[in-house]
A and B are shown apart, each in its own frame.
Chain A
Amino acid sequence: MTQLDHLHNEETDIVEISPRRTLWRIDIQELWQRHYLIRLLIRKDILASHKQSILGPAWFVLQPVITSLLFVVFFGMFAGLSPRGVPRFLFYLSAMIPWTLFTSINQGVSGCLMANASILGKVYFPRMIMPVVAVGTAGLHFLFKYGVFVIFYISYVFRGTVDNNLHLLDLPLMILILLFISALGLGTGLIFASFSVRYRDFRIALPVLLQTWMFATPVIYPSTMIPEKWKSVFYLNPMAGFIETHRHVVLGTPRPSLLYIIQGAGITGIILLIGLTVFHRAQRNFVDVL
């Protein structure tokens, strides 16, 4: 009975259950203790997304590539939205890849409570695990997609259609940008997850909202098209600065002012805090509302 002895000696093993409403609290230690569960659930999610599909993981490549090709034809060739001097395909792909990182995290996190309602209603584990799993799954998919992007990029560089203007200094900036994009996806996703538990409207509104958001973000057009006087409003959308920075790093398009990037990071931080707060509130009793 060694386990029992250890139980009685360790006061930390006591779980307190009380109605106390903390504003927000993430128990990193509790999450870390469940890292095996997190890994297991991420693996389950990734395997499940390929079950009963012929092309399997190829879809993760085909999706952004096909969308980018469509953009090339409609927005690039017909509407003439893409700038000169940059291959159209790479122009769109370099924005689509980070944009889908944002949307896939957002969608994964938004749906995580509803999708796992059956398990959440019957066993306890830190609820924050579900968003973490959604971020992990989307992140792994992203790495795969990013690899494909790099292959395309290198092939363009070798053919000489794109100058290799990557600087070693840009690498940390890029990682930072991708982290901020993930944080924004998580923050907005948490807000949606929390409200969609009570109001079905949020589940219906999400795709429309994401589409609108994409048009407000320089994905299909360069930010140079935005009149100077609207720039400050335009960059209130953190994704605008992030996407343009990513494009700047790989394609050498003009970089948005550093001030806008910092502002975007700040807004992202605030959204993430709001997200964590409302999620913490929602997860406590969402079982009663379902």
Chain B
Amino acid sequence: MKNDSNFSIQVDRLGKRYRLGVIGRQSLAEEFQHTMKRVLMPNVKDPARSAVAANPLQVGNRLATQLDPDHPGTFWSLKNVSFRLQPGELVAVIGANGAGKSTLLKILARITSPTEGHARIRGRLSSLLEVGTGFHPELTGRENVYVNGAILGMQEKEINQKFDEIVAFSEVGEFIDTPVKRYSSGMRTRLAFSVAAHLEPDVLLLDEVLSVGDASFQQKCSDKMNELAGHGRTVLIVSHRFSTITTMCPRSLWIHQGRLKKDGPTQEVLAAYLSETTGAEGEKIWKNGFTPGRVPGLTLFAFRLLNHKRDVIKVMSEDQSLHVEFDAEWLAGTPNSQLGIEVTKDQADSLFESFPGPTFSFPSPGRKRIFVRTPEGCLPPGGYLVYALARVERNARSIRISKALRLEVIAVSGRPPTRGKLHVNATWNLHPQESGS
């Protein structure tokens, strides 16, 4: 009973139906024409209703699951979503574009109403949806802080108390008395976040805010959110920045085509999400073999990323080691040709390459499988590309012989973010002779 009443957000079978295509006829004349058409030519389809058939691209992947058979021309942007957040939780909402994440936040922020189901929110709610939330462009930053605070239901006195802190956090400085329309989008977002976070909301809803601003401000934002959560506030955040989500939010909700597909620890939810959605596959297979032109005598049949259980993967957590498998064949007479791997951070910086050491002997002619394993936990959270390399002999320059495989490394929750592009497990010792003196 006690536990039952201790919620911050409770969402129960929430659903929202939108009209497809033409959203509302804009003038009475159009409405009239539409009605006349329906009366006079019942066989001609209404553009709004036939939008699905006419323009499947616009509707995209909503076609199958989100259309409402009982109400033609409509689709469910959100359907049957239920979850419950406790005070002090930091929860991320992830999902593809148009999956319904923003609709969920809009309903919770009471900007639009649901079609079915209901939600309950305990306490004062503050939301930051899209950039520049709720600022009046003609008013100065100062005036907007007061208006925004008042919109949240605060009195003048409360806002006065928080004002200096808000300005300091937002880093807008002397621009506080300039109309907001002259702010850069970064300044606007910083001020908006600062207002939303400092006005002591019990529930904070954030939509894609972390994608704006520089790295140091993002760090400040996540610190602030952690602080809020530490004080029993609840934060629900929509973001595509997986590195931020994984370090900040222990729990995630995955919204897929309007439905809650997975709710659980961020690591699991994100892994499931990424393995389903990242387009690139975790392996490359050449059925008839592929012989890189510049490395004679070597034919590649497969190149794949694996976990320790030998499953093909696209996602791993930062404490695991990366396994790479080659399926290759050497022709007789080319014993010096070597295979290797290269890992790059996103598209740009190469992090390291690895070739077998001198003690490793490449197999005698014939088709073989070769495994490579990196040390545990050397890749910090983020996106990586893994290339297959080859060289004709030990001292030759290596070349990339295939397209890269994409790898997403996700954070282990609770681990603080670290500096540097790689984790290195160095060995630390106390010198025994000097320890006593």
Highest count of chain A CB atoms <10 Å: which of B118, B134, B139, B156: B134
Instruction: List residues of A (78-135) whose CB comes within 8 Å of B's CBs.
Output: 118-125
Kindly name the residue among A16, A124, A289 whose own CB sees the greatest number of chain B CB atoms within 10 A: A124
Q: A8-B6, A36-B156, A123-B133 are in contact. Are A14 and B111 (CB under 8 A)?
A: no
In the complex, what's the smallest C-beta–C-beta distance from B423 to chain A, in angstroms?
37
Q: For chains A and B in complex, what number of residue pairs have CB atoms within 8 angstroms?
A: 123
A14 to B109, CA, bound (A): 13
The residue from B116, B119, B121, B148 contacting A123, defined by CB atoms under 8 A apart: B148
Whether the pair B134, A122 counts as a contact (CB closer than 8 A) is: yes
Q: Which of A37-45, A55-63, A162-170 contacts B (4 or more CB under 8 A)?
A: A37-45
Q: Which of B21-29, B245-253, B275-283, B374-382 contacts A (4 or more CB under 8 A)?
A: B21-29
Chain A residues with CB below 8 A from B38, complex form? none
Q: Are B156 and A201 within 8 A (Cβ)?
A: no
Majority secondary structure, A binding face: helix
Q: A124-B109, A288-B112 are known contacts; what are 16 more A-B pairs with Cβ within 8 Å?
A: A4-B202, A7-B123, A7-B202, A13-B122, A13-B124, A15-B120, A15-B121, A18-B113, A37-B150, A44-B139, A122-B134, A123-B133, A199-B28, A199-B31, A200-B26, A287-B112
A1-21, CB under 8 A of B: which get 1 and which 0?
101100110000111111100
Query: Are A37 and B151 CB-contacts (below 8 A) given A121-B111, A124-B110?
Result: yes
**Given A19-B115, A119-B136, residue A1 in contact with residue B231 (CB < 8 A):** yes
Inter-chain contact A124/B150, CB cutoff 8 Å: no
Closest to A3 in B: B200
In contact, B113 and A44 (Cβ under 8 angstroms): no
Interchain CB contact under 8 A, A16 and B120? yes
By a CB distance below 8 angstroms, the chain A residues around B346 are none
- Judged by a CB distance under 8 angstroms, whether B194 is at the interface is no
- A288–B23 CB distance below 8 A: yes
**Are the CB atoms of A17 and B26 closer together than 8 Å?**
no
Q: Is B81 an interface residue (CB 8 A)?
A: no
Q: Which residues of B contact A120 (CB under 8 A)?
A: 111
Tell me, rounded to whole Å, the shortest Cβ–Cβ distance linking B194 to chain A: 15
Q: Nearest chain B CB to A117's CB is how many angstroms away? A: 11
Instruction: Say yes or no: is A34 at the interface (Cβ < 8 Å to chain B).
Output: yes
In-complex Cβ contact of B123 among A13, A199, A284 (8 A): A13
Query: With an 8 A cutoff between CB atoms, is B147 at the interface?
Result: yes
Cα–Cα, bound, A288→B317 (Å): 40
Q: Does A198 contact B (CB under 8 A)?
A: yes
In angstroms, Cα B112 to Cα A36, docked, is 24
Q: Tell me, yes or no, whether B319 is within 8 Å of chain A by CB.
A: no
Q: Does A285 contact B (CB under 8 A)?
A: yes
Given A19-B116, A123-B111, A123-B133: A36 and B121 interface contact (C-beta under 8 Å): no
Please tell me if the beta carbons of B150 and A201 are within 8 angstroms of each other in the complex.
no
- Please name all residues of chain B whose beta carbon is closer than 8 Å to the beta carbon of A37 when the two chains form the complex: 147, 150-151, 153
Which residues of B (196-229) have their CB < 8 Å from a CB of A?
200, 202
Does A33 reach chain B (CB closer than 8 Å)?
yes
Closest 7 A-B residue pairs measured CB to CB? Answer: A37-B150, A18-B118, A124-B110, A123-B134, A17-B119, A122-B133, A289-B24
- Are A287 and B106 within 8 A (Cβ)? yes
A: which residues have CB within 8 A of B? 1, 3-4, 7-8, 13-19, 33-34, 36-37, 40-41, 44, 48, 51, 118-125, 198-201, 284-285, 287-289
- Contact across chains for B26 and A199 when beta carbons are under 8 A apart: yes
Complex Cα–Cα for A219 and B155 (A) = 43
In the complex, what distance in Å separates the CA atom of A179 from the CA atom of B122?
Answer: 38
Q: Considering the complex, give the chain A residue whose CB is closest to the CB of B24.
A: A289
Chain B, range 11-59, C-beta contacts under 8 Å to A? 18, 23-29, 31
Which of B25, B118, B125 is within 8 Å of A124, CB to CB? B125
* Tally of B interface residues using CB under 8 Å: 55
With a 10 A CB-CB cut-off, give which of B87, B123, B124 has the most chain A CB atoms: B123
Given A13-B123, A40-B147, A41-B147, A122:B111 Cβ within 8 A:
yes
Cα distance A199–B18 in the bound complex, in angstroms: 18
| Bound: A120/B112 CA distance, A | 10
Complex Cα distance, B127 from A121, in Å, reads 11
Query: Could you tell me if B155 and A36 are in contact, using CB atoms closer than 8 angstroms?
Result: yes
B231 to chain A, nearest CB (A): 7
Contact B18 A7 (CB under 8 A): no
Which residues, 134 to 162 on B, are CB-close (under 8 Å) to A?
Answer: 134-139, 143, 146-148, 150-151, 153-156
Known: A19-B118, A37-B151, A123-B134. A201 touches B27 (CB 8 A): yes
Task: Kindly identify which residue among A4, A18, A36, A199 contacts B27, using a CB–CB cutoff of 8 Å.
Answer: A199
Distance in angstroms between the alpha carbons of A120 and B374 in the assembled complex: 53
Instruction: Quote the shortest CB–CB distance from B397 to chain A (angstroms).
Output: 55
Whether the pair B134, A33 counts as a contact (CB closer than 8 A) is no
Pick from B23, B114, B120, B151 the residue with the most CB of A within 10 Å: B151
Q: Which residues of A contact B200 (CB under 8 A)?
A: 3
Q: How far, in whole Å, are A18 and B124 apart by their CA atoms in the complex?
A: 18
CA distance A119 to B137 in the complex (A): 10
A residues in contact with B113, CB < 8 Å: 17-19, 284-285
A-contact bits for B77-102, CB 8 A (1 contact / 0 none): 00000000001000000000000000
In the complex, the chain A residue whose C-beta lies closest to that of B14 is A17
B232 CB within 8 Å of chain A: yes
Q: Does B129 contact A (CB under 8 A)?
A: yes
CB distance from B412 to the nearest CB of A (A): 30
Contact B150 A119 (CB under 8 A): no
